[in-house]
């Protein structure tokens, strides 16, 4: 038990990372690994992970980009403590820090030591399930990680715009059915919007979108070809395996395209 939580010790990215995470409640899955693979970065830059949980996405990004400094922000102090422990046990404690912080509050961000216009990259996996259409989990931590009120994305985006440098890049994951709502929410402060849909199998509707947008940019760029997670037989696709097990980046991470 760490930070008062019963944990399991799990391997992700084909064993490249070991993560302590709660036995029950929200656990690291495909969404976190896809988000990390969609986020670019270079050595010497700073990335901030909003709603980091136990650090899955931010640590996967840090593993992919040696020399990138990453700040993991998580509202639950116990999960933030686990994120810090995961950074240390994966040998990244010198460039990854974890802070308990409410990312919806700019005052809280400043109190936690963040500065306005200080990040090059910002990744976020906000709670995005609609409580009006999906039953909430009885587990408090899982509910906090999954269920969003109608205005949550706007609040997170306001904090992201405050945190990112001009020209900095926002990367987020959301439910695919709400793509138009996300574009409308992102567009006031961000542009050069590019979308990658994630579908469970060939011919199926997308279940997730990954989006990249640039602070101060304008317009929407052409969408990328979708990522198909499984083939017609239900086996993981080669493209999904490359990202989830072989730690390859997604094309969305390339700012040149």
| CATH code of the domain in which 56 resides | 3.40.50.150
16 within some domain? no
pLDDT band at 138 (very low <50, low <70, confident <90, very high): low
The answer to which of 73-87, 146-160, 206-220 has the lowest mean pLDDT is 146-160
Provide the pLDDT for residue 158: 98
59 within some domain? yes
Say if residue 100's pLDDT is above 50.
Answer: yes
Provide the pLDDT for residue 26: 80
Provide the pLDDT for residue 3: 60
21 within some domain? no
- Residue 23 to residue 164: CA distance in whole angstroms: 34
154 within some domain? yes
- Higher per-residue confidence, 109 vs 23: 109
Mean pLDDT score, 212-235: 97
pLDDT band at 137 (very low <50, low <70, confident <90, very high): very low
Mean pLDDT score, 17-37: 93
Domain count, the chain: 1
Mean pLDDT score, 144-152: 65
Mean pLDDT score, 210-232: 97
pLDDT per position as a tens digit, 172-203: 999 999 999 999 999 999 999 999 999 999 99
- Residue 40 to residue 163: CA distance in whole angstroms: 17
pLDDT band at 79 (very low <50, low <70, confident <90, very high): very high
207 within some domain? yes
Check: pTM over 0.75? Answer yes or no. Answer: yes
9 within some domain? no
175 within some domain? yes
Contact 207, 218 (CB under 8 A): no
- Residue 27 to residue 16: CA distance in whole angstroms: 17
Residue 199 lies in domain: 29-251
pLDDT band at 146 (very low <50, low <70, confident <90, very high): very low
Say if residue 65's pLDDT is above 70.
Answer: yes
3 within some domain? no
- Higher per-residue confidence, 6 vs 95: 95
């Amino acid at each position: 038990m760490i930070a008062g939580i019963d944990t399991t010790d799990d391997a992700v990215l084909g064993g490249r990372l070991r993560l302590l995470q709660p036995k029950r409640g929200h656990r690291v899955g495909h969404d976190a690994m896809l988000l990390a693979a969609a986020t670019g970065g270079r050595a010497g830059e700073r990335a901030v992970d909003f709603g980091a949980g136990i650090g899955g996405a931010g640590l996967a990004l840090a593993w992919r980009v040696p020399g990138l400094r990453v700040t993991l922000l998580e509202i639950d102090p116990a999960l933030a403590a686990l994120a810090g422990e995961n950074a240390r046990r994966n040998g990244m404690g010198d460039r990854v820090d974890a802070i308990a912080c409410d990312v919806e509050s700019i005052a809280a961000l400043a109190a936690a030591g963040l500065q306005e216009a200080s990040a090059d990259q910002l990744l976020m996996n906000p709670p995005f399930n609609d409580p009006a259409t999906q039953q909430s989990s009885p587990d408090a931590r899982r509910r906090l990680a999954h269920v969003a009120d109608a205005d949550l994305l706007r609040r997170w985006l306001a904090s992201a715009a405050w945190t990112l440098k001009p020209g900095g890049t926002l990367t987020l994951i959301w439910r695919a059915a709400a793509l138009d709502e996300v574009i409308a929410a992102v567009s006031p402060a961000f542009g050069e919007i590019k979308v990658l849909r994630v579908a469970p199998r060939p011919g199926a509707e997308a279940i997730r979108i990954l989006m990249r947008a640039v602070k101060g940019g304008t317009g929407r760029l052409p969408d990328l070809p979708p990522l198909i997670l499984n083939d017609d037989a239900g086996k993981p696709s080669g493209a999904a395996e490359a990202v989830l097990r072989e730690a390859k980046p997604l094309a969305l991470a390339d700012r040149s395209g």
